């Protein structure tokens, strides 16, 4: 169903929100006009399926059946003397946002132009929240699509923890090791055997196959409950413990049966099974709440009898009778007990849809000494149907009601499970499913599965996942999370990859992965020789007094299976201004600490954004690649061409200057764009000549039929800077590259 949400509180998107179901085919502007909304009273951001849409385009966006539109009111600030300061700070954030958005796009897994624009809008909003430190940051864009107040997560929502029938919600997908409160796979029902009540519950653990480590009632292992039987059904298996497709007629709620002599009549008829279903087994629960007895003068109990008839007849899907009433059973109970008597009577019938009625056939003893009440407590139909639940793991439970097992506790069933996934290697291909907490194979499952992107192996960079899995395993980085809300494949993939400090992006129809990790070899060198004149820009995101100096990481603690948080900061930070982030999928405190330190270091050390235009060689690097930049404007070295090479001398197109007492280095661009060096050099015979300290590993090109070899020169590492590519955008015949200047301290903070 399409949905439109108008969020009046940008800092708590789940509060003060109006939800609407628009008509399919109308435009966003048409929806607003129907409700008399010509203009919003506050500046408002419009997101359509997570992508920002300008006001002028609202009349052209047509709502389809799966469209999700969100209108989010932007913060307005307060009054008083601080208003001007907040306005200035907000403007500063808005100025920095376009560059911060581009810089962070690679880190967050956003690589498209539209995705980067959305991230820029998010940075502007979140930046304001961080500048105004007392206001918490808004939820990420994916949380908007996850929001569902009517069906909260049974695992992550503490107020809603328990087993539910979440109609219309997706079947949960679990990755890694996690606790789950499994949804009902069928309506629970009860029946009586030997005066004991048994409750039958079928739970869906999740899609796919799992290693079930523990089954519990709240925090107590199921082994402590002798009155519970359970059965685990793997994908494709059948439930043998009980019938799963049983419906209970809601109209019956303990009506008393009386015979005609006592003023009674037939109770019913009540329809046993819904339209377009058939049953071959009807079940009635009969209860004598006072027992069945007569108290004699000596204090003993004499026998009393209760008897009744049950009849049924066939009906069609419209409820019209197809035949006459026939007798299902004539039942009699004789007893002398003041304990409630509860029995379930089952009747086999030809396949069909039925209505049922009942009447008492003997007189009720009205004496105050007697217990003779007869109540019809429930009518159930065991339906005919396919019991193949598909590729899901089920948990069937048969519970006997005792003082040890209450009605509330029977709805607190939870399991600790580890997902089983196939693992790929280049030699053997895919393995059989095995228990794993791997980030890599969770990503692969999202891309390959029927509930995911349904991609072929050829569309996934499996070799990169193998290499990353080795790194993640060595570090102890895992993903442990439950996806039980509606969200896009890309949102799920981004959240899983983020737990491994990685991003996914599309390139040439292939889903690739890049992890933010130390890199030392740049893949390309850019200098004024191949940077378009006038396109070189440097933007500094300046910290202020309200800039976050620490990070509070929210995670789900696997020790308590409850939400937890940890605040981390760099060694010389006061941790007075923490920024709160939610690391979905992290269940280990040490993992949360590592990622928090990494984010704090990135926040401090990555504040120089560089962008420029170049020719087609700009397509050599891709997202996350390390590039070298040399430019005279910020004094990042001296650059030019090599005009002659006579070992050990290099003749250059530009003059270079040496400083006495310092070591000088030169780097050279190879034919494929990669970098050779840095090489230690000394002054030659003139200002345009240098002498190599050792022989080069390639021969520079100095002719005129193609570009000559480029060089970058400087003292020590000042020949240029290293930067990480965050965006590569074709611009006609040119290519625009956006990057953030790298700092090795980003990767040493979490060691």
Residue corresponding to tokens 């060096």? 677
685 burial type by CB count under 10 A (0-12 exposed, 13-18 middle, 19+ buried): exposed
- Could you tell me if 461 and 510 are in contact, meaning their C-beta atoms sit under 8 angstroms apart? yes
Asked whether the predicted pLDDT for residue 50 surpasses 50, the reply is yes
- Token readout for 251 is 């109209």
| Higher pLDDT, residue 232 or 96 | 232
Cα distance between residue 138 and residue 75, in whole Å: 11
pLDDT grade for 156, boundaries at 50, 70 and 90: low
Helix (H) or strand (E) segment spanning residue 599:
helix 589-605
- Could you tell me if 353 and 279 are in contact, meaning their C-beta atoms sit under 8 angstroms apart? yes
% pLDDT > 70, the chain: 87
Query: Which are the contacts of 351, defined by CB distance < 8 A and separation ≥ 6?
Result: 278, 279, 280, 384
| Higher pLDDT, residue 86 or 671 | 671
- Could you tell me if 213 and 416 are in contact, meaning their C-beta atoms sit under 8 angstroms apart? yes
| Higher pLDDT, residue 187 or 285 | 285
Asked whether the predicted pLDDT for residue 484 surpasses 90, the reply is no
Asked whether the predicted pLDDT for residue 122 surpasses 70, the reply is no
Give pLDDT, residue 546.
Answer: 65
- Token readout for 361 is 């056939």
What is the four-CA torsion angle of 595, 106, 451, 159, rounded to 10 degrees? 40
> Phi/psi of residue 597, each to 5°?
-65, -40
- Could you tell me if 124 and 93 are in contact, meaning their C-beta atoms sit under 8 angstroms apart? yes
- Token readout for 120 is 């820029």
Cα distance between residue 721 and residue 142, in whole Å: 35
Give pLDDT, residue 541.
Answer: 78
pLDDT grade for 257, boundaries at 50, 70 and 90: very high
Asked whether the predicted pLDDT for residue 106 surpasses 70, the reply is no
Cα distance between residue 517 and residue 501, in whole Å: 8
Distances (CA, A) of 140 to 129, 147, 607, 701: 13, 11, 22, 50
Give pLDDT, residue 330.
Answer: 95
Query: Which are the contacts of 534, defined by CB distance < 8 A and separation ≥ 6?
Result: none
Instruction: Please indicate, yes or no, whether the overall pTM of this predicted structure exceeds 0.85.
Output: no
Cα distance between residue 596 and residue 594, in whole Å: 5
Asked whether the predicted pLDDT for residue 78 surpasses 60, the reply is no
Give pLDDT, residue 9.
Answer: 80
Distances (CA, A) of 646 to 262, 677, 700: 122, 18, 10
User: How many of the other CB atoms lie within 10 Å of CB of 605?
Assistant: 18
Asked whether the predicted pLDDT for residue 100 surpasses 50, the reply is no
CA dihedral over 515, 517, 522, 524, signed as positive or negative: positive
Strand ranges (DSSP E) for 384-468? 392-400, 413-421, 424-425, 429-430, 434-435
Cα distance between residue 110 and residue 744, in whole Å: 23
Residue corresponding to tokens 């903070």? 749
Name 62's bridge partners.
27
Give pLDDT, residue 24.
Answer: 86
Give pLDDT, residue 531.
Answer: 92
- Token readout for 682 is 């000394």
Cα distance between residue 66 and residue 77, in whole Å: 34
Average pLDDT along the chain? 84
Cα distance between residue 434 and residue 210, in whole Å: 8
H-helix segments, 459-505? 462-475, 489-498
User: How many of the other CB atoms lie within 10 Å of CB of 384?
Assistant: 14
Helix (H) or strand (E) segment spanning residue 714:
strand 710-715
Per-residue pLDDT reduced to its tens digit, 701-711: 988 888 899 99
pLDDT grade for 142, boundaries at 50, 70 and 90: very low
Give the three-state DSSP class for 703.
Answer: coil
DSSP 719: T
Cα distance between residue 142 and residue 493, in whole Å: 11
Distances (CA, A) of 1 to 168, 261, 324, 645: 10, 55, 43, 69
Lowest mean pLDDT among 123-127, 371-375, 566-570, 669-673: 123-127
Q: For 52-56, what is the mean pLDDT?
A: 87
Give the 3-state secondary structure of 536-552.
CEEEECCCCCCCCCEEE
Per-residue pLDDT reduced to its tens digit, 348-404: 999 999 999 999 999 999 998 999 999 999 999 999 987 788 899 999 999 888 766
Query: Which are the contacts of 166, defined by CB distance < 8 A and separation ≥ 6?
Result: 151, 154, 183, 484
Cα distance between residue 736 and residue 516, in whole Å: 21
Give pLDDT, residue 157.
Answer: 57
Asked whether the predicted pLDDT for residue 570 surpasses 50, the reply is yes
Asked whether the predicted pLDDT for residue 105 surpasses 60, the reply is no
Name 327's bridge partners.
311
Q: For 427-441, what is the mean pLDDT?
A: 95
pLDDT grade for 59, boundaries at 50, 70 and 90: confident
- Token readout for 119 is 């991230």
Asked whether the predicted pLDDT for residue 267 surpasses 50, the reply is yes
Give the three-state DSSP class for 566.
Answer: strand
Residue 397 region by backbone torsions, left for phi larger than 0, else alpha for psi between -120 and 50, else beta: beta
């Amino acid at each position: 169903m399409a949905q439109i949400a108008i969020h009046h509180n940008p800092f708590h998107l789940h509060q003060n929100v109006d939800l609407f179901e628009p008509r399919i085919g109308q435009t966003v502007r048409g929806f607003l006009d129907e409700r008399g909304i010509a203009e919003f009273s506050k500046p408002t951001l419009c997101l359509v399926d997570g992508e920002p849409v300008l006001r002028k385009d609202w009349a052209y966006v047509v709502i389809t059946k799966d469209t999700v539109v969100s209108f989010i009111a932007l913060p307005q600030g307060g009054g008083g003397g601080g208003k001007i300061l907040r306005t200035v700070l907000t403007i500063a954030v808005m100025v920095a946002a376009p560059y911060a958005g581009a810089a962070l796009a690679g880190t967050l897994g956003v690589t498209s132009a539209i995705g980067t624009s959305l991230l820029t809008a998010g940075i502007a909003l979140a930046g304001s929240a961080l500048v105004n430190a007392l206001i918490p940051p808004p939820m990420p864009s994916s949380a908007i699509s996850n929001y569902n107040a009517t069906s909260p997560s049974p695992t992550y929502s503490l107020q809603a923890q328990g087993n539910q029938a979440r109609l219309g919600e997706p079947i949960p997908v679990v990755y890694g090791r996690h606790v789950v409160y499994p949804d009902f796979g069928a309506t629970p029902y009860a029946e009586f055997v030997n005066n004991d009540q048994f409750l039958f519950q079928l739970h869906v653990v999740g899609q796919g196959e799992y290693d079930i480590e523990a089954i519990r009632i709240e925090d107590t292992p199921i082994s402590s409950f002798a009155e519970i039987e359970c059965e685990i059904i793997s994908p494709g298996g059948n439930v043998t413990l009980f019938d799963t497709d049983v419906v209970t007629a809601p109209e019956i709620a303990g009506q008393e049966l009386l015979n005609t002599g006592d003023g009674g009549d037939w109770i019913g008829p009540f329809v046993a099974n819904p339209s377009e279903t058939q049953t071959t087994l009807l079940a009635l629960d009969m209860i004598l709440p006072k027992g069945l007895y007569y108290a004699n003068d000596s204090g003993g109990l004499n026998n009393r009898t209760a008897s009744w008839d049950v009849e049924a007849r066939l009906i069609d899907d419209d409820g019209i009778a197809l035949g006459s009433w026939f007798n299902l059973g004539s039942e009699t109970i004789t007893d002398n007990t003041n304990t409630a008597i509860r029995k379930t009577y089952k009747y086999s019938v030809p396949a069909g849809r039925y209505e049922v009625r009942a009447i008492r056939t003997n007189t009720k003893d009205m004496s105050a000494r007697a217990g003779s009440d007869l109540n019809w407590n429930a009518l159930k139909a065991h339906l005919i149907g396919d019991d193949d639940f598909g590729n899901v793991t089920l948990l069937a439970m048969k519970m006997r009601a005792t003082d040890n097992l209450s009605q509330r506790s029977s709805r607190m069933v939870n399991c600790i499970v580890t997902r089983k996934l196939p693992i790929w290697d280049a030699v053997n291909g895919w393995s059989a499913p095995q228990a794993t907490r791997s980030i890599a194979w969770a990503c692969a499952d999202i891309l390959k599965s029927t509930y995911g992107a349904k991609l072929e192996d050829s569309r996934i960079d499996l070799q990169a996942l193998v290499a990353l899995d080795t790194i993640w395993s060595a570090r102890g980085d895992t993903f442990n999370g439950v996806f039980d809300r509606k969200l896009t494949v890309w949102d799920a993939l981004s959240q899983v990859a983020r737990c491994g400090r990685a991003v996914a992006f599309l390139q040439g129809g292939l889903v690739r992965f890049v992890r933010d990790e130390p890199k030392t070899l740049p893949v390309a060198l850019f200098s004024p020789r191949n940077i378009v004149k006038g396109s070189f820009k440097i933007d500094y995101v300046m910290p202020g007094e309200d800039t976050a100096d620490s990070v509070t990481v929210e995670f789900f603690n696997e020790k308590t299976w409850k939400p937890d948080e940890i605040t981390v900061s760099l060694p010389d930070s006061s941790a007075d201004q923490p920024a709160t982030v939610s690391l979905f999928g992290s269940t280990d405190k040490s993992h949360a600490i590592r990622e928090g330190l990494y984010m704090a270091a990135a926040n401090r050390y990555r504040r120089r954004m560089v962008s420029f235009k170049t020719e087609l060689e700009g397509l050599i690097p891709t997202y996350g690649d390390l590039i070298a930049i040399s430019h005279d404007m910020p004094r990042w070295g001296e650059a030019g061409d090599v005009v002659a090479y006579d070992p050990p001398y290099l003749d250059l197109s530009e003059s270079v200057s040496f400083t006495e007492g310092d070591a000088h280095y030169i780097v050279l661009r190879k034919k494929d764009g990669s970098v050779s060096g840095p090489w230690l050099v000394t002054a030659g015979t003139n200002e345009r000549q240098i002498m190599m300290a050792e022989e080069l590993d390639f021969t520079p090109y100095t002719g005129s039929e193609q570009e000559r070899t480029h060089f970058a020169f400087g003292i020590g590492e000042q020949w240029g800077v290293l930067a990480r590519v965050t965006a590569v955008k074709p611009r006609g015949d040119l290519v625009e590259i956006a990057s953030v200047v790298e700092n090795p301290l980003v990767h040493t903070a979490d060691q």
